[in-house]
Structure 1
Amino acid sequence: MWGTAPSGALGPLDITYGSDSDNRQGKWNGHEFTATLPLDEEALYYSVTAQLQGSGDINCSVTIDGETEKGHASGGYNICTAQANAGLLGGWD
């Protein structure tokens, strides 16, 4: 996750990331957030979401096995979401 996201009335950017069975809280360092998780072959999806706190412009992404899903949010209390889903025949969509 990268971009500009100043702290708002509710505090800093609110980040949640993980899989369908493992959710975690992320910490924005003022310019970016990066996390690496071990791959759970039984996971249905991996995702990252971040809610702006009144202003900002951010991009987010999830990359698994070279496949990247991206999202974007700008202004207000909008939410950036990116999710990689396990494919029915293997791999990630």
Structure 2
Amino acid sequence: MTLDPEDSKIITLARSARARNGSAEGAAVRDETGRTYAAANVALEALTLSAVQVAVAMAISSGAQSLEAAALVSEGGPSAADEAVASELGVKALLVAGPDGTVRG
């Protein structure tokens, strides 16, 4: 699969977020102005958020109105909640890649 360079960039950012924190997931999103946000999942007793949810929350809290793209790097796949939040903000297809950066599907 050949990716747009901007989509490759958010996969790289998601991989970096995952690796930096030793997390199960890393995600990155690009908003309508081209700004990017990368995050890892949060797994606390009092708060559990997927990496996609954290990245989206960062974008929205920074003023983003919509998203152009979203990527998830994980051993597994996206949850229904990940797909729903990405879709709600305009993402047509959530990019999913393994830890090595290989895009699946």
Give the TM-score of the pair, scaled to structure 1: 0.43
Based on CA coordinates, which of the two structures has the bigger radius of gyration? Answer: 1
Give the TM-score of the pair, scaled to structure 2: 0.39
Which structure shows the higher helix fraction?
A: 2
Which structure shows the higher strand fraction?
A: 1
